[in-house]
Structure 1
């Protein structure tokens, strides 16, 4: 019962992550393409296009980090593991624990930064998007990275 529920949640999280990445990257590509055509074809520039791409880069980095944790695609230095293969389980657990600490820091400090943006009512310069929306990705994806890291740890324990 619990296994089916967790599997269903994992499927939902995966779909949300993948579709979010797809939609925001496509929006950035279309706006950049339109900006290039207008700039070189009509000598006119869309000012909001570059700001949109900047926000998309921020979002795709954080959402992509969650996907990378799930797929075990985070950047690692594995020279020690290659030299001493018996250390792999311990070092893997250690890196996962460090990832949990990092995720907690993202949630904690991301919440503080988001709360500050909420209090100051700052907006982006051109598109006038409230910065609280931009900063809110940090604590949300911190929670997702935490969940994904727990999933990876459980998979490692079950595989033993």
Structure 2
């Protein structure tokens, strides 16, 4: 499991850097083209939207990994240590189940879009490609939540042994 998570870390970091760099570069070229050459690329807004969705889901996965998402833990912080680990573990399991469900239903939508053979308006790429980050990153986020649940429950088990 640790190897899979390390591999995901590397892939996520590389994808995030290259996606943000390419979005910034394309935005810079768009601004130069518009104000210097009085020309505008019609596909830029659409590509920016798709890359924004990609970055949002990628960032959500990284946020789960680092624990940087906000939590409402007023009640949990008042519990004893073993119970805190149990509640956090169960919360992560429920979150993983939620994201696996999102992945399942969004995959069904991707398959439906593939069957319709629709394309995007300006870039004319198949729409299922634009929808693909949703199930892919939902699975990755689910895996991250499972890893967090295992981490909390393992800590609970270590405390029970002491």
**Cα distance between partner residues in 2 of 1:103 and 1:121:** 26
* TM-score, structure 2 as length reference: 0.86
Of 20, 23, 26, the residue aligned with 1:25 is: 20
Confirm or deny: 8 A CA contact 2:90 2:149 kept in the other structure.
no
Alignment of 1:80-159 (within 5 A): 80-82=75-77, 84-86=78-80, 88-159=84-155
Of 8, 23, 26, the residue aligned with 2:3 is: 8
**Cα distance between partner residues in 2 of 1:155 and 1:93:** 8
**Cα distance between partner residues in 2 of 1:60 and 1:104:** 19
Against the structure 1 CA distance between its residues 159 and 89, is the aligned structure 2 distance closer, same or farther, given a 3 Å change threshold?
A: closer
Confirm or deny: 8 A CA contact 1:32 1:50 kept in the other structure.
no
Residue by residue over 1:102-158, the C-alpha shift from the partner in whole angstroms, topping out at 9 and shown as x without a partner, is: 212211111111011111011111111111111121221122112111111111122
Q: RMSD of the alignment, in Å? A: 1.7
Confirm or deny: 8 A CA contact 2:89 2:148 kept in the other structure.
no
**Cα distance between partner residues in 2 of 1:153 and 1:93:** 4
- Secondary structure, counterpart of 1:47 in structure 2: coil
Residue by residue over 1:66-101, the C-alpha shift from the partner in whole angstroms, topping out at 9 and shown as x without a partner, is: 11111112222233334x243633432242133122
**Cα distance between partner residues in 1 of 2:75 and 2:38:** 55
**Cα distance between partner residues in 1 of 2:125 and 2:79:** 50
Number of aligned pairs?
A: 154
1:15 to partner: Cα distance? 0.7
Indicate yes or no: 2:38 matched with 1:51. no
Residue by residue over 1:49-75, the C-alpha shift from the partner in whole angstroms, topping out at 9 and shown as x without a partner, is: 111111101111112111111111222
